[in-house]
Amino acid sequence: MYSVPMIRKELVAASAEPLVLALLANGESYGYAIIQEVKARSDGKLQWTDGMLYPVLHRMEHRGLIKSRWGESETGRKRKYYSLKKDGKTAMAKHHEQWSLVHAVLSGLKKEQYV
Amino acid sequence: MFDLEQAIADWRWQMLAAGIQTPVPLEELENHLREEIGRQAKSGVEEQHAFEIAVQQIGPREVLQTEFAKNRRSPWRSDDNKTTMTNQILGVLWLAQNAYFLIRSATSPVAVAIILYFPHYWQSFTVFLTLLSFAGVIGSIFLFRGAKFGVNATRIIAALEFLLCVIEYATDDKSFGSPNSWFGIFSTFSLITIWFLRSPKHKGRKLAVE
């Protein structure tokens, strides 16, 4: 059976921000859960180096796309939760538009090749 | 015998040595590490092995360090922040100048009312200055908050105030300490404002998709 190869690291890096934004649009979350969710949804094909997510999150927070608060995990340890801000929603919409466009162009070209 | 707490403490030291700051990033990374170890352990992996897998997944410290270092660049060196700071300082000074104008002309509301109905060259000048300085106050607040609108509005207002101040300064007594010598200072400041104002790229870049 045909299987999608692991996604290249450039694409992983480029898709980190839109994915995090889209994930947080479903409600607040924290680093570990975000990574697990992306892994699960991509069948493990989208693998982040786990630690790399945090600087990305911090940058997004600094740019005002997301905000964070300290909460507690079930085991009582401190845990940092992130959620979407208004600018983050706008950014998400922009990302979505651009990725959809790329996808449309790509699949349009592919279709032509089969005609 | 493998000691998980000791292993985590050692890992923390390595991260610290790599320049990853406490408390926030390291705290977050450690929480992540513990969650991963917990998950591995739950699925039956032996503790030491779980620790090794988790450390590997978090990534080598050199790579993390480079990534975190991107966030640590001095805020004063960043162009965005310089713009924000310039505009905030100008916003405050600009607010002061316009508030002064406004108070000065608004202290005699009766006079303003009379002036409105009997416009004369100097009197209409005062009315115009009142309206202009009121717009200036509003503009400077927007400027301080980093809105693009504030920059454009302030540019126009500053240009008008510069002209008015020059006229006022040129047509009246210039001995220092008289109200009109202040107009010399104000006109210079207006020019400086126009010169130094930068459009806040900050706001636009925030949303830009990189």
At residue B148, what is the residue type?
Answer: K
**B59 and B85 housed in the same domain:** no
CA distance B119 to B132: 17
Q: Assess whether pLDDT exceeds 80 at residue A108.
A: yes
A94 in B contact zone (CB under 8 Å): yes
What ipTM goes with this model? Answer: 0.82
Instruction: Name, of A5-14, B109-118, B189-198, the range with top average pLDDT.
Output: A5-14
Count of structural domains within chain B: 2
B140-152 pLDDT, tens per residue? Answer: 888 777 777 777 7
Of B18-22, B95-99, B200-204, where does mean pLDDT reach its minimum?
Answer: B200-204
Domains within chain A, CATH numbers bracketed: 9-114 (1.10.10.10)
CA distance A89 to B51: 37
The three-state secondary structure class of B144 is: helix
For B15-50, give the DSSP string.
HHHTTPPTTHHHHHHHHHHHHHHHHHHHTT--HHHH
Residues of A in contact with B210 (CB under 8 A): 17
pLDDT at B151: 77
Q: Assess whether pLDDT exceeds 60 at residue B96.
A: yes
Residues of B in contact with A90 (CB under 8 A): 207
A30-64 pLDDT, tens per residue? Answer: 999 999 999 899 988 888 888 889 989 999 998 89
Consecutive H or E run containing A96: helix A86-114
B154-174 pLDDT, tens per residue? Answer: 888 888 878 877 777 776 655
B11-32 pLDDT, tens per residue? Answer: 988 888 877 765 668 888 898 9
B27 in A contact zone (CB under 8 Å): yes
pLDDT at A98: 95
Give the range of the structural domain holding residue B32, as residue numbers without chain letter: 4-71
Cβ neighbour number for residue A106 with a 10 Å cutoff: 10
Of residues B153 and A91, more confidently modeled? A91
Mean pLDDT for A81-109 is 94
Is residue B146 a part of any domain in this protein? Answer: yes
**B100 and B116 housed in the same domain:** yes
> Among all chains, which residue has been given the structure tokens 């290249």?
A8
Domain boundary among B18, B36, B71: B71
Chain centroid to Cα B191, Å, comes to 22
B32 in A contact zone (CB under 8 Å): yes
**B177 and B105 housed in the same domain:** yes
